[in-house]
Amino acid sequence: MHTERRELWRATHLLTPDKKELARFVLEEIRRGSDVTKTLRSHPLADGSGYLNKSMLVTLYNELVAAGEMDADTRLLERLRMKPMRTLSGVTTVTVLTKPYPCPAKCIFCPNDARMPRSYLPDEPGAMRAVEHQFDPYAQVKSRITQLQALGHPTDKIELLILGGTWSSYKRDYQEWFVKRCFDAMNETSHRERREKGEKNSEVSVDSVANRGEWKVESGELEKDHSFNETASHRNVGLVIETRPNEINPDEIRWLRRLGVTKAQMGAQSLDDRILEMNKRGHNVERTRQATALLRAAGFKIVLHWMPNLHGATPESDREDFAKLWNDFCPDEIKIYPNQLLANAELYEYWQRGEFTPYTTQELIDLIADIKPIIPRYCRVNRIIRDIPSTNVVEGNRRTSLRQDVQDELKRRGQKCQCVRCREVKSKSVDVKSLKLDDLVYPAGAAEEHFISYVTPDDKLAGFVRLSLPGKDSPETEISDLDGAALIREAHVYGQSLPVGAEKDGAAQHVGLGTRLLEEAERIAIANGFKRMAVISAVGTRGYYLSRGFERGELYLVKKIA
């Protein structure tokens, strides 16, 4: 994060006229096909202070395009982009943190820093940005969008990830205000553009009220923000919150949908009641099962957190525990967060008394390398370790590169993981004619799940749809939009995130894969006797589904399919 800020500052403050002239020349050389790094190194700065960097070239590129002196060139910008992996999943993620607030749980492994939301530390990379902006949601989103643009990333399709412990424990007026301010930041560019064109716009104020302590949102304001974002320059294509299993019920589900939430991260941590009680988790395994089933019945994408090395666990019991995830729970995504011993957590006292021993780095590598190959092809492994600076860890693993360590170990063993992330097509070119349509069917939460995907000949994932067919024992959501409906819980086409409407030869996005996948989902739903279909659309993807026959319901988009 510090590197990105430094590069951004250099780009915006040090691009003097003579450097602009050199940057223009270098940009033209790269546009003609020259290697980026070699070209930069072949043209040192005249003052002997070093070389131009990619951020400077991106800044000049944006200036030239805005001034009409250069045509927009997607391929050129892609070559200049810093850290392209950030957007190779097809969307651009923006992470924000909520303000410090008491958590109802008493988990012994969580750090307890009064300056931060429970479980977070002020020197974690994502948290540092929040602290810098005093937890102002508007400022966090706006600054991150600006930073990503300066690094060459597209920002028209944004997945908003709201972190901060248990979202559901915050007061609802604060939740609504927080989400609204995030949308204000995503909408601001579009509002400015409309004002410049002389169009009237009185729907949403972009004045910040972050420091007044006022959380009141007038009735209908958030809905207006949502409506505006449907065609904004920075469209929200996913809204993610963190919560706990014992917070999920039909009323909470309805509230989350009103806010625009499409994905819920939930701390399962363990599927052993004994371990949960020893770590003062505050819920049991059955509550996790019920919450997961209800979220599925309401169409949400489900992310479960799982923690090896909890107090009372062993590597052997963790292996058995992990296997339980794929029996009825079946999360769409998981985060593996090995327990880390921190000085400001209650667990530290257990360690001092000799009641807790952290796993070594090698024990963790062996454990995760053992369990990763059993992860089903429908699940994505988002993380394998928390991004906690090693200086905070008292004893045990301090390596933040654990994912790569595990990958190296799997390669040594001649094994591989088949999770979604490991099979994403990323920047690889796609020959649409060679793709194979696959339908992976599995039971979960009293529903029949269909993971419908397009796969390349070498088993890379180009796109998928998650179709859920509720069964007679599926939980009652009390939402009329979902009565008797098959559910589209996620539709995703992979490859480098491209601007809305843009095309690129060989790119998986924008070649009709999404439409084909939806058509296959509809065919399967009809074959199983469903006459209606509902989709848990993010605010910024409503237009996509509306153009494909869906209509607006109360909280979902719906379609008659029989």
Q: Is 412 left (phi over 0), alpha (psi -120 to 50) or beta?
A: alpha
Q: Among all chains, which residue has been given the structure tokens 């020959």?
A: 431
End-to-end Cα spacing for the chain: 51
Write down all domains in the chain, each with its CATH number in brackets: 2-82 (no CATH), 85-243 (no CATH), 273-423 (no CATH), 432-560 (3.40.630.30)
Is residue 338 helix, strand or coil?
coil
DSSP 344-360: TSTHHHHHHTT---PPP
- pLDDT at position 79 is 72
How big is the chain by its Cα radius of gyration, in Å?
24
Sign of dihedral through CA atoms 38, 40, 44, 48? negative
pLDDT digits 0-9 by tens, 493-502:
986 444 554 4
pTM confidence score: 0.84
Q: Which helix (H) or strand (E) holds 159?
A: strand 157-163
- pLDDT at position 483 is 97
Encoding tokens for residue 407?
Answer: 């990958």
Q: Count the alpha carbons within 13 Å of 332 in the hemisphere toward its beta carbon.
A: 26
Q: What are phi and psi of 90, to 5 degrees?
A: 105, -15
- pLDDT at position 194 is 52
Q: Which parts of the chain register pLDDT below 50?
A: 1-3, 5-13, 86-87, 199-212, 496-498, 501-510
Contact 385/338 with Cβ under 8 angstroms?
A: yes
Contact 417/375 with Cβ under 8 angstroms?
A: yes
Contact 372/381 with Cβ under 8 angstroms?
A: yes
- pLDDT at position 58 is 75
Helices 221-229 and 172-196 pack at an angle, to 10 degrees, of 50
Nearest Cα residue to 367 out of 319, 307, 322: 319
**In whole angstroms, how far apart are CA 166 and each of 241, 243, 343, 389, 416?**
8, 4, 22, 22, 34
- pLDDT at position 209 is 42
Contact 540/235 with Cβ under 8 angstroms?
A: yes
Rounded CA-CA distance 224/242 in Å is 25
Nearest Cα residue to 162 out of 178, 184, 186: 178
CA 344 to chain centre: 28
pLDDT digits 0-9 by tens, 71-108:
877 777 767 765 555 445 568 999 999 999 888 889 99
